[in-house]
């Protein structure tokens, strides 16, 4: 443990110890995705306080705890991973029912997203016990925050988390074809030994923009944006580009250029015969133009800014 983390433990106690930490509760703890300094003060306090720490890999978590100067005997760590989550979740429930505080940490980041933890939380909730989130590092939100890929346009706002695509080539190709019609930003995850295959599959998306976020928060972190059809060649351009864990973002699908003149002609014809809302809805259905924009244009056509004011 470095002196800086010794100070962090003191700071964690000062900042978090006065808060209430109920017994018989599961604490879902986000841990760093690479940079040890990305732990939160509350996470440090809870990891010290917990009677049991359930974790994806006990050896990895023990190393993490020791880096922060937290000493937990081996019998206070409980392995809970994708291969034993259902059975281990019941062991956690029993400990919670006995009044223990149990923390759960996956190997990196926020549990229950792409890592184990969802089945554990479901089992704890089904038993009528409390789950308390301790937010922190996440590769998904970290990548999204530095790409500007989350649009806010009507019908295309937000993002879709797709995680890892199938490993078999035919199934992966089918999944990519489905994603091709998704207008929102899509978040994918991929391991280094499969990133080239994913890049090859994404090439069918042509000029749709793709961001690769590699080794986030680590020394060789890299964030790079390309057209989908160019990603495979970029990866092949240097050996280090295929190393590390990847977050892959498909940027929002570009909206087709619309013929504003045609949509306005349709809107004018409909406004002459129908109420405004009905005319706008039909014009949007016919032309594919955004309904909000058509509605604003309809109001402008009905009430031009230079029209004389009405008098009673």
User: Is 307 among the domain residues?
Assistant: no
User: Is 312 among the domain residues?
Assistant: no
229 in the same domain as 161? yes
User: Is 70 among the domain residues?
Assistant: yes
| pLDDT reported for residue 177 | 95
45 in the same domain as 121? yes
User: Is 255 among the domain residues?
Assistant: no
User: Is 153 among the domain residues?
Assistant: yes
133 in the same domain as 161? no
191 in the same domain as 169? yes
Cα(49)–Cα(134) distance, integer angstroms:
14
Spatial strand order of the sheet with 209-214 comes to 159-163, 185-190, 246-250, 209-214, 222-227
Torsion of CA 170, 171, 177, 182, to 10 degrees: -170
| pLDDT reported for residue 288 | 79
43 in the same domain as 86? yes
| pLDDT reported for residue 260 | 63
| pLDDT reported for residue 311 | 47
194 in the same domain as 96? no
| pLDDT reported for residue 296 | 87
**The domain spanning residue 41 has which CATH number?**
3.40.1010.10
User: Is 28 among the domain residues?
Assistant: yes
115 in the same domain as 13? yes
Q: What is the pTM of this model?
A: 0.79
123 in the same domain as 30? yes
Cα(122)–Cα(118) distance, integer angstroms:
6
**The domain spanning residue 225 has which CATH number?**
3.30.950.10
231 in the same domain as 117? no
Nearest alpha-carbon partner for 50 in 79, 81, 71: 71
| Average pLDDT along the chain, 312 residues, taken 10 residues at a time | 79 95 98 96 98 97 96 96 96 98 97 95 98 97 94 76 96 95 94 97 96 97 97 97 97 69 87 91 85 87 64 42
| pLDDT reported for residue 255 | 61
Q: What H or E segment, with its residue span, contains residue 190?
A: strand 185-190
Cα(227)–Cα(250) distance, integer angstroms:
10
Cα(244)–Cα(222) distance, integer angstroms:
10
226 in the same domain as 186? yes
User: Is 223 among the domain residues?
Assistant: yes
The residue out of 137, 155, 190 marking a domain boundary is 137
| pLDDT reported for residue 257 | 54
The residue out of 102, 137, 172 marking a domain boundary is 137
Q: Which domain holds residue 293?
A: 260-302
73 in the same domain as 19? yes
| pLDDT reported for residue 293 | 84
Collapse the DSSP code of 293 into the 3-class scheme (helix H, G, I; strand E, B; otherwise coil) and give the result. helix
The residue out of 97, 113, 137 marking a domain boundary is 137
What ranges in 103-194 are assigned the alpha helix state H?
118-126, 139-145, 169-179
| pLDDT reported for residue 22 | 98
Domain count, the chain: 3
User: Is 103 among the domain residues?
Assistant: yes
| pLDDT reported for residue 151 | 76
216 in the same domain as 180? yes
Nearest alpha-carbon partner for 106 in 67, 65, 68, 56: 56
| pLDDT reported for residue 216 | 97
């Amino acid at each position: 443990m470095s002196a800086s983390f010794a100070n962090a433990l003191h700071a964690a106690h000062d900042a978090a110890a006065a808060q209430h930490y109920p017994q018989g509760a599961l604490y879902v703890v986000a841990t760093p995705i690479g940079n040890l300094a990305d732990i939160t003060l509350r996470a440090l306090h809870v990891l010290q306080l917990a009677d049991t720490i359930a974790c994806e890999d006990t050896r990895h978590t023990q190393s993490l705890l020791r880096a922060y100067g937290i000493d937990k005997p081996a019998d206070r760590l409980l392995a809970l991973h994708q291969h034993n989550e259902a059975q281990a979740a019941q062991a956690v429930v029993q400990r919670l029912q006995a009044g223990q505080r149990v923390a759960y940490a996956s190997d990196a980041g926020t549990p229950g997203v792409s890592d184990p933890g969802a089945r554990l939380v479901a089992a704890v909730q089904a038993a009528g016990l409390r789950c308390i989130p301790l937010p922190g590092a996440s590769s998904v939100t970290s990548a999204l925050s530095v790409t500007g890929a989350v649009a806010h346009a009507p019908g295309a706002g937000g993002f879709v988390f797709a995680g890892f695509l199938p490993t078999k080539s035919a199934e992966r190709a089918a999944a990519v074809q489905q994603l091709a019609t998704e207008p929102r930003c899509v978040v994918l995850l991929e391991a280094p030994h499969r990133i080239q295959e994913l890049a090859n599959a994404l090439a069918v998306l042509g000029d749709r923009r793709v961001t690769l976020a590699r080794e986030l928060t680590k020394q060789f972190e890299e964030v790079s944006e390309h057209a989908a059809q160019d990603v495979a060649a970029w990866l092949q351009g240097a050996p280090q580009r295929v190393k590390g864990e990847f977050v892959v973002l498909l940027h929002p699908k570009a909206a087709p250029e619309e013929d504003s003149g045609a949509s306005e002609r349709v809107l004018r014809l409909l406004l002459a015969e129908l109420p405004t809302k009905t005319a706008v809805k039909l014009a949007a259905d016919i032309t594919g133009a955004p309904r909000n924009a058509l509605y604003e244009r309809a109001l402008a056509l009905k009430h031009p800014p230079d029209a004389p004011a009405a008098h009673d």
